[in-house]
């Protein structure tokens, strides 16, 4: 134990020094939100030269994806080391060098289900921010009932011919490639005729149209496929077994959504309460104050849950239901938090350009996306509790 | 009065519903929003509503109005909520209340006729804090010969941008007084304020601005009464908004299919919808009770106004979140109408005090804290 | 209008005087709860001589059942008059002279479905408190799914032979007769083979065993029927159409439960808060204070709903779903109110002999009885909203 | 320490579960309750638990204990919650904490050995108000030669009836001090208090009662630490109670048939059960975090103790109501066991502060109010 701990404290020291030397001041203390993030891709846009440098230095060490194997462009760190890196980055408030669904979603799927060729082809490009990936799951008629999807990939010998429509493609209109679920066997039972396919969005027949949300943001697109030719090499895993890959990835997505909510970005509700109300004001409106206190209690509980999930991971004792639990509770808490923040600012927070209104209008999306919270409740009641179908 | 609608009221509701659905369908509000029109309402629509007697129906018969009281104003607001009609109905009714309770005969004769016809719009500027707290009053009035000068600032002025005039509360020698400031007044700055519901709001800045005082007594009780009227009317509008959002949601539950069934056949959604139905049913009585009490000059009116605003703000918050959730992905797109109800619901809940404010007001009043 | 109003104010004056003269002081200001009520019956027990006198005087005028026709022992009052009587009784805090399921439940059923003979036989005895009635609906296997009841009544020519078991019979062990739902056609679809039967509990083969509740109270019994002979004259309504009677009565029960919760008996939560906390203490615990305030808001809203229901009744415009709405909301509010009262008293309210604990332990019963709140939600979603079966 | 159980802890839990299910099944508690035994626990059971090291496992090794800390005490309490084992475990652990942090070596040597073996029971008497508010301290100590005399009263003394001794907080010359009062002390009146959970509680009245002071410094921090320990242990017990009530409810949902289906197939009930599962999962981490922080002398321990008590009190209130509701009629009968969990859950939630108290404590601390 002691010697591993010693190793780790040496590692921490090394990381700390490296970060001090390599993370430029303007890559620190940057509000970490979707707009400020570097997303990579063929049309990559860096916030500024310093942040570009920061990204390149991190990519060089494989620390854009610290725990991926080095041969795929990763840093090859173990869980403890990766955590130390994250902690040290947080200590100096370094901005995330590269944000991407490739890192969060496709990478883990390829590591688990991809062929060696696919790993060597795609993972380094993700790590180096060369390709920005979109996720193509939901369809207009297949939301909660994802497996009823109708986008069709027809086997044409050396390629698939893809026709159909996806919706809720995160930043689809800004992405280079998309990993999709497509139906390859229309005759099979609905979970058994689905495959997991990688499609280049620059290919003829692919069109992505942005969707405007309540907040005015355009974080999603509709994506249309019209006679798109996709090479067979782009099939991940076994044909007609794409649902296995999807299930695996949905769990990742839930965990991400479950943890992102627990640490609110930007000014916290607690601090806003002090700033807007002052210590005396907190006594004047006991109802709102109690609501804020309850949201804080939820936030602290969720943080502990994140810590516990990490510890369980290290101990190899993660419950398969934790992602659903965290996704459900964190997204609802987030909705409640943004509502309390709206109330706190009263008339001033009705400003559609302000961050309070923006976050409040965006929060419900996460209760629906990534498997609606009703789906999480179904998962928990059916699988965790073993309650029977009607 | 009984907590059921009279025959006359049923006819009024039908008339309002008919006119609004013809002249102000929901798409009109969306088009207005997208146009970016700074006035944020259509004066022509407002005059058409006025022509049917829907603007300030609470002006007393003695003052040349219909004398239909808060009940009629509330029933019209409720119908306006169904289509999100953007017209300065709330400010007109509040102005009518304030003028009716404070102004001299001559002042009434000058102000009310054009208010009722919709030719002028008069906005009440009573709030000075972001979170509604009418006890805060820093605006001051001073004498200036025969007239008055006002200095201070106001926020959250409903229908306040481009108004013909503003009714402004100010402190004058230790009492609360009410003043009218005209559009062209010197030292007056009116800033339009954008809000999520794309309605008309303004902030006012007053620097030695000439004003006319309405009446000459303590305007405190009239201001409280106008705020209570506004609260009950907002509660009525929220009731219309909630009814409409709920009906659309239930219809969607019967239509949207997932897992080879309409999603409205899922019992978990059914029970959640049924709870909302029950709460709506209860709230309907509370809103009507508040309107009736105002019309009866019941001493409980102020208390019932807070109750109605508290109940409807809380219910609308819960109901509109459920409406979005039950619509799924489509519910969070700007292209789909449910979001328009969500945004207006939030703003209407916030204006003149949210549920936290009113619950606290009730508690303090009840326990004499 | 004016002359009817004049009549009413004359009536009010008359009632007021009569009550002043006839309601003895010891029948006033008595906490109105189950224990203090006079329930009538063959083994009737009066609180004291004065209250006995009060009951007799009221029964004499038919005012134990003010709105029943006079020929059945009632007062023959119209809705407005009945309301004035109730208001005047409340004004002097007169105790209810007679409480009974006969008044609340069986009477309305007989008035609607009974034959003239049955009305003349049973209603006057109810009005005069001679017979105490129990209600026999639920069975161990038929709770929420009431129509699946199995107690059987076999047609034996001049009588029915009844066998089976009922549960949750309110005060069954203290009652004289019971109105029951029994299965008369086991072959028919479950809602169509049920009849509504009156059974004398003194008859051989009837046994009622009290059930002890969480609060220690015994408000209910299990009731066993073993080869009980019941005259054919005791069938109410049409054979095999008892479900119509049951539905009608369940609506009454819901309305009663929906309105009883809204006016808490005994010291209110609001007053208790002042007494236990004082005005300053209310500020010291904002969370509990907010909870109490929200319960009060619910209470006031429910009171308005009661007023509205009355006004709708007068206008002939009652929604058929109001009973379910009120039953659901009032019983849940009651549970919440009793919980807040428990919290208010802290350790002292844990006393199992105190009224706070007693009410808290009894409150959940009403969320289950009278058609569980889940059944009310089913009714609302299916019938009020028209949502389809799965 | 990590928020997962160590191997040793897993073994401890198994041992506790095994012993409790053999020696203290739920029926034992019911029988004890029905017997009306004024002690409300079985001393023989307590000694058997002690023999396995389950009583006051938090006594330090240096003081002759197992030194397993709050974590072990909490895990045992959690298991006790499953069977509602009535034994003075909470008071023993709190007494161990108080003595460990305040007493002299000689005092520890006198008091701790028999506490650990279960021969003596020592109850902490810290509360003076019906609603937990430890800042209220009216009990006074005065010098009496070499000793002290106490005057005042205490309430909600957990396991306080028939205890061998009581640890009593009192004010002495402006500081908070801790005293031990023996059973036979003059001027001491101990009244048993009945409670819905049929456990052992007492009120104490002290009139010039001779007492021994533990240590000589300010006992305030030790008292706060003991209260926090007690709160975390009650949270752990509530977790066991909720887990057990929930498991029984889910089992009932799979068994009870209505409308020709098991009721657990109704989606509305499924989703309600799933929500409780999710909240239980979250709460489990919070309780463990509080126990771990206490053992690590983490400055956040006091804060996490309040968090755990707040979260578990609220969850238990919601969960136990649902447990009754989902059992239907049978759930409200005294003959059925679920009600025993409801009653103990309420009392455990109330003791040492409910969710309202602890939410407010967190808020005041967090915002420095």
Domain boundary pick from A240, A256, A288: A240
Are the CB atoms for C188 and C53 separated by under 8 Å?
no
Q: Is residue C260 scored above 60 in pLDDT?
A: no
Domain boundary pick from A108, A141, A168: A108
Lowest mean pLDDT among A163-172, B10-19, B283-292, C275-284: C275-284
CB-CB under 8 Å, B369 with C283: yes
Burial class (CB in 10 A: 0-12, 13-18, 19+), B218: middle
Same domain, C249 and C375: yes
Would you name the residues of C annotated as active-site residues? 253
CB-CB under 8 Å, D278 with A324: yes
Q: Is residue B69 scored above 70 in pLDDT?
A: yes
- Please give the structure tokens belonging to residue C119: 């009305």
Q: Which residue of B has its CA nearest to D266?
A: B267
B149-202 pLDDT, tens digit per residue, is: 999 999 999 999 999 999 999 999 999 999 999 999 999 999 999 999 999 999
Fold topology of B221-366? Butyryl-CoA Dehydrogenase, subunit A; domain 3 (1.20.140)
| CA-based nearest residue to A313, from A83, A23, A75 | A83
Q: Is residue B111 scored above 80 in pLDDT?
A: yes
| C214: closest CA of chain D, how far (Å) | 5
pLDDT of amino acid B230: 98
| CA-based nearest residue to D181, from D219, D154, D212 | D212
Q: Per CB distance under 8 Å, which residues of B are interface residues toward A?
A: 127, 129-132, 155-156, 193-197, 201, 257-260, 263, 266, 268-269, 317, 321, 324-325, 328-329, 331-335, 339, 342-343, 346-347, 350-351, 354-357, 359-360
| Closest in C286, C293, C390 to A289, CB measured | C286
Q: Which residue of C has its CA nearest to B281?
A: C325
Same domain, A197 and A166: yes
C-alpha B119/C-alpha B97 separation (Å) is 18
CB-CB under 8 Å, A314 with D262: no
- Is residue A138 in a domain? yes
| Closest in A283, A290, A390 to C287, CB measured | A290
- Is residue A35 in a domain? yes
pLDDT of amino acid B343: 98
CB-CB under 8 Å, B268 with D271: yes
Same domain, C175 and C217: yes
pLDDT of amino acid A80: 84
pLDDT of amino acid C259: 65
Q: Is residue C33 scored above 80 in pLDDT?
A: no
Residue A290 touches chain C, beta carbons under 8 Å:
yes
Q: What are phi and psi of B150, to 5 degrees?
A: -115, 145
C-to-D residue pairs, Cβ atoms closer than 8 angstroms: 121
Same domain, C153 and C270: no
Chain A adjacent subunits, 3+ CB pairs under 8 A: B, C, D
Cβ-Cβ contacts under 8 Å, C339 against chain D: 317
The set of long-range contacts for C8-13, using a CB threshold of 8 Å and a minimum separation of 24, is: C8/C80, C8/C81, C8/C84, C11/C81, C11/C84, C12/C84, C12/C88
CB-CB under 8 Å, A293 with C290: no
Number of domains in chain A: 3
Paired strand residues for D171: D140, D176
Cβ-Cβ contacts under 8 Å, C168 against chain D: 329
Strand, coil or helix: B175 = strand
Q: Is residue B123 scored above 80 in pLDDT?
A: yes
Cβ-Cβ contacts under 8 Å, A301 against chain D: 282-283, 285-286, 307, 311
pLDDT of amino acid B337: 97
Q: Give, for A107, the enclosing helix (H) or strand (E).
A: helix A107-113
Within 8 A by CB and 6+ apart from B339, the residues are A214, A361, B324, B331, B332, B333
CB-CB under 8 Å, D333 with C347: no
Q: Is residue C264 scored above 50 in pLDDT?
A: no
- Please give the structure tokens belonging to residue D342: 């409801």
pLDDT of amino acid C205: 97
pLDDT of amino acid B237: 98
Cβ-Cβ contacts under 8 Å, B339 against chain A: 214, 361
Residue with the larger pLDDT of the pair B245 and C246: B245
Q: Is residue C233 scored above 90 in pLDDT?
A: yes
Q: Is residue C218 scored above 60 in pLDDT?
A: yes
Residue A30 touches chain C, beta carbons under 8 Å:
no
CATH code: domain of residue A268: 1.20.140.10
CATH code: domain of residue A205: 2.40.110.10
- Is residue C249 in a domain? yes
- In sequence order, which ranges of chain B are alpha helices (DSSP H)? 7-23, 26-35, 43-51, 69-83, 89-102, 105-116, 220-255, 267-295, 301-327, 338-350, 355-367
Q: Residue A156: which domain range?
A: 133-240
Same domain, C70 and C157: no
| Domain residue spans of chain D | 7-116, 122-219, 221-366
Same fold? B7-116, B122-219: no
With the C-alpha atoms ordered C191, C196, C200, C204, is the resulting torsion angle positive or negative?
negative
- CATH number assigned to the domain covering D122-219: 2.40.110.10
Are the CB atoms for D58 and D201 separated by under 8 Å?
no
pLDDT of amino acid C2: 43
CB-CB under 8 Å, B307 with C301: yes
Q: Which residue of D has its CA nearest to C167?
A: D329
> Is this prediction's pTM over 0.95?
no
- Is residue C125 in a domain? no
- In sequence order, which ranges of A128-234 are alpha helices (DSSP H)? none
A132-170 pLDDT, tens digit per residue, is: 999 999 999 998 899 999 999 999 999 999 999 999 998
Same domain, C99 and C17: yes
C-alpha A190/C-alpha A242 separation (Å) is 11
Q: Is residue A74 scored above 70 in pLDDT?
A: yes
Question: pLDDT band at C262, cuts 50/70/90?
Answer: very low
Are the CB atoms for D70 and D233 separated by under 8 Å?
yes
A-to-D residue pairs, Cβ atoms closer than 8 angstroms: 119
Same domain, C163 and C273: no
C-alpha C160/C-alpha C225 separation (Å) is 12
Q: Is residue C161 scored above 80 in pLDDT?
A: yes
| D269: closest CA of chain B, how far (Å) | 8
| Closest in B333, B335, B356 to A343, CB measured | B356
| CA-based nearest residue to A377, from B219, B267, B147 | B267
Q: How is D299-340 classified by DSSP, letter by letter? A: TTHHHHHHHHHHHHHHHHHHHHHHHHHHHGGGGGBTTSTHHH
pLDDT of amino acid C191: 92
Question: pLDDT band at C3, cuts 50/70/90?
Answer: low
Cβ-Cβ contacts under 8 Å, C291 against chain D: 356
C-alpha B3/C-alpha C309 separation (Å) is 8
Q: What is the mean pLDDT of chain C?
A: 91
pLDDT of amino acid A1: 39
Question: pLDDT band at A313, cuts 50/70/90?
Answer: confident
Residue D271 touches chain B, beta carbons under 8 Å:
yes
Crossing angle of helices D7-23 and D69-83, in 10° steps, is 30
Same domain, A177 and A235: yes
pLDDT > 90: what percent of chain C?
69
Q: Is residue A32 scored above 70 in pLDDT?
A: no
A-to-B residue pairs, Cβ atoms closer than 8 angstroms: 120
Same domain, C252 and C356: yes
Class of domain B7-116: mainly alpha
Same domain, A177 and A100: no
- Is residue A127 in a domain? no
- Is residue C380 in a domain? yes
D47-69 pLDDT, tens digit per residue, is: 999 999 999 999 999 999 999 99
- Is residue C123 in a domain? no
Question: pLDDT band at A266, cuts 50/70/90?
Answer: low
C-alpha A55/C-alpha A51 separation (Å) is 6
pLDDT of amino acid D348: 98
Cβ-Cβ contacts under 8 Å, A293 against chain C: 287
Q: Is residue B323 scored above 50 in pLDDT?
A: yes
CATH code: domain of residue A82: 1.10.540
- Is residue C191 in a domain? yes
Strand, coil or helix: B211 = strand
Are the CB atoms for D354 and D132 separated by under 8 Å?
yes
Same domain, C236 and C269: no
Domain boundary pick from A205, A240, A275: A240
- Average pLDDT of the residues in A219-232: 96
CA dihedral B320, B326, B330, B333 (to 10 degrees): 20
Cβ-Cβ contacts under 8 Å, C360 against chain D: 346
Residue C277 touches chain A, beta carbons under 8 Å:
no
Lowest mean pLDDT among A267-276, B140-149, B234-243, C11-20: A267-276
Same domain, A254 and A361: yes
Within 8 A by CB and 6+ apart from D110, the residues are none
C-alpha A24/C-alpha A243 separation (Å) is 43
Q: Is residue A262 scored above 60 in pLDDT?
A: no
Enumerate residue ranges in chain D where pLDDT < 50. Answer: none
| D221: closest CA of chain A, how far (Å) | 24
Residue D262 touches chain B, beta carbons under 8 Å:
no
CB-CB under 8 Å, A285 with B356: yes
Could you tell me whether strands C235-236 and C194-200 are parallel, antiparallel, or unpaired per DSSP bridges? Answer: antiparallel
Would you name the residues of A annotated as active-site residues? 253
| Closest in C282, C319, C385 to B367, CB measured | C282
């Amino acid at each position: 134990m002691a010697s591993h701990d010693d190793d780790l404290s040496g590692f921490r020291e090394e990381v700390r020094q490296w970060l001090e030397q390599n993370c430029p001041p303007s890559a620190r203390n940057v509000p970490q939100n979707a707009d400020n993030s570097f997303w990579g891709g063929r049309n990559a846009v860096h916030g500024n030269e310093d942040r570009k440098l920061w990204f390149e230095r991190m990519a060089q060490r494989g620390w854009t994806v610290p725990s991926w194997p080095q041969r795929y462009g990763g840093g090859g760190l173990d869980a403890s080391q990766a955590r130390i890196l994250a902690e040290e980055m947080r200590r100096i408030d370094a901005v995330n060098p590269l944000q991407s669904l490739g890192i969060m979603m496709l990478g883990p799927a390829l590591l688990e289900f991809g062929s060696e060729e696919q790993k060597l082809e795609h993972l380094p490009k993700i790590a180096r921010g060369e390709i920005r990936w979109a996720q193509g799951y939901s369809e207009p008629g297949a939301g909660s009932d994802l497996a009823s999807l109708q986008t069709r990939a027809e086997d044409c010998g050396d390629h698939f011919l893809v026709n159909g429509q996806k919706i809720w493609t995160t930043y689809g209109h800004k992405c280079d490639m998309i990993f999709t679920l497509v139906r390859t066997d229309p005759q099979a039972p609905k979970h058994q005729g689905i495959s997991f396919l990688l499609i280049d969005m620059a290919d003829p027949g692919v069109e992505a149209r942005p969707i405007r949300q309540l907040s005015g943001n355009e974080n999603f697109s509709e994506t249309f496929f019209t006679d798109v030719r996709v090479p067979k090499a782009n099939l991940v895993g076994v044909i007609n077994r794409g649902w296995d890959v999807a299930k695996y990835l949905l769990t990742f997505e839930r965990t991400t959504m479950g943890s992102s909510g627990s640490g609110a970005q930007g000014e916290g509700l607690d601090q806003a309460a002090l700033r807007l109300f002052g210590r005396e004001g907190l006594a004047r409106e006991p109802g709102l104050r109690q609501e804020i206190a309850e949201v804080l209690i939820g936030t602290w509980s969720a943080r502990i849950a994140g810590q516990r999930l990490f510890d369980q991971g290290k101990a190899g004792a993660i419950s398969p239901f934790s992602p659903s639990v965290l996704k459900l509770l964190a997204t609802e808490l987030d909705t409640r938090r943004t509502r309390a923040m709206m109330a706190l600012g009263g008339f001033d927070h009705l400003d559609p350009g302000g961050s309070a209104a923006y976050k409040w209008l965006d929060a419900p999306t996460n209760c629906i996306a990534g498997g609606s919270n009703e789906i999480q409740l179904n998962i928990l009641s059916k699988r965790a509790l073993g309650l029977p179908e009607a | 009065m009984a907590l059921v609608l009279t025959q006359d009221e049923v006819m009024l509701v039908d008339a309002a519903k008919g006119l609004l659905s013809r002249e102000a369908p929901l798409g009109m509000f969306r088009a207005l929003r997208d146009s970016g029109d700074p006035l944020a309402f259509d004066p022509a629509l407002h005059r058409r509503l006025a022509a049917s007697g829907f603007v300030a129906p609470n002006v007393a018969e003695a003052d040349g109005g219909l004398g239909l009281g808060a009940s009629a104003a509330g029933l019209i607001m409720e119908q306006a909520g169904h289509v999100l009609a953007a017209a300065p109905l709330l400010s007109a009714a509040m102005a009518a209340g304030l003028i009716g309770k404070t102004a001299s005969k001559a002042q009434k004769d000058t102000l009310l006729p054009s208010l009722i016809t919709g030719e002028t719009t008069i906005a009440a500027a009573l709030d000075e804090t972001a979170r509604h707290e009418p006890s805060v009053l820093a605006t001051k009035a001073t004498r200036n010969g025969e007239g008055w000068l006002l200095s201070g600032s106001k926020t959250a002025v409903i229908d306040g941008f481009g108004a013909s005039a503003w009714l402004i509360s100010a402190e004058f020698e230790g009492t609360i007084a009410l003043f009218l400031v005209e559009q062209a007044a010197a030292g007056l700055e009116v800033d339009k304020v954008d809000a999520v519901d794309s309605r008309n709001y303004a902030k006012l800045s007053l620097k030695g601005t000439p004003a006319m005082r309405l009446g000459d007594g303590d305007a405190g009780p009239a201001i409280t009464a106008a705020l209570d009227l506004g609260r009950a009317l907002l509660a009525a509008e929220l009731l219309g908004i909630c009814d409409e959002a709920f009906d659309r949601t239930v219809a969607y539950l019967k239509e949207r299919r997932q897992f080879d069934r309409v999603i409205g056949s899922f019992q978990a959604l059914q029970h959640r919808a049924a709870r909302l139905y029950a709460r709506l049913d209860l709230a309907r009585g509370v809103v009507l009770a508040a309107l009736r009490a105002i019309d009866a000059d019941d001493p409980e009116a102020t208390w019932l106004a807070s109750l109605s605003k508290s109940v409807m703000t809380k219910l609308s918050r819960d109901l509109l979140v459920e409406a979005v959730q039950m619509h799924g992905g489509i519910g969070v797109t700007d292209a789909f109408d449910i979001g328009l109800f969500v945004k207006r619901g939030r703003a209407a809940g916030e204006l003149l005090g949210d549920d936290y404010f009113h619950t606290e007001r009730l508690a303090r009043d009840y326990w004499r804290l």
